[in-house]
A = this chain, B = another copy of it.
Amino acid sequence: MTSPEPPTPAVFVLLVALSRVPRHGYGLGQEVQRMTDGRVRLGAGTLYRSLQRMRVAGWVEESGSDTDDERRRVYSLTPAGRSAARAETRRLADLVALATEAGLLEDAPTPREDEHTP
């Protein structure tokens, strides 16, 4: 929607889920669900396609598996990935600030004038 392409919503939550500990794809899906109290669930297609894009973008890198399960592909966040996540966090925070300043958190039906909540 703007310039230098922000991560997609799915990619962003994956970056957040990866921010502390390296994980494999399937585990990331679980972690995203856990840390959002089930509010965000990524479909399988979205999950693995997002990880491929993140790898191509240099935001994650594949590291050696953490168990003897050969199927797992474990990813860890790169500095570039952390940087992208921080930038997107700031972008979203700005958006939230904008909405808040617009009076979108008060309960008033239509606070069109300069009201002040006592």
CA A7 – CA B92 in complex, angstroms? 15
A44 at the B interface (CB under 8 A) = no
User: From A89, which residue of chain B is reached at the shortest CB distance?
Assistant: B99
CA A86 – CA B98 in complex, angstroms? 12
CA A95 – CA B93 in complex, angstroms? 9
Task: Decide: A19 and B82 in contact? CB cutoff 8 A.
Answer: no
Task: Decide: B19 and A104 in contact? CB cutoff 8 A.
Answer: yes
List CB contacts (< 8 Å) of A98-112 with chain B: 98-100, 102-105, 109-110, 112
7 contacts between A and B (CB under 8 A): A1-B9, A16-B99, A19-B104, A21-B112, A39-B91, A79-B110, A89-B105
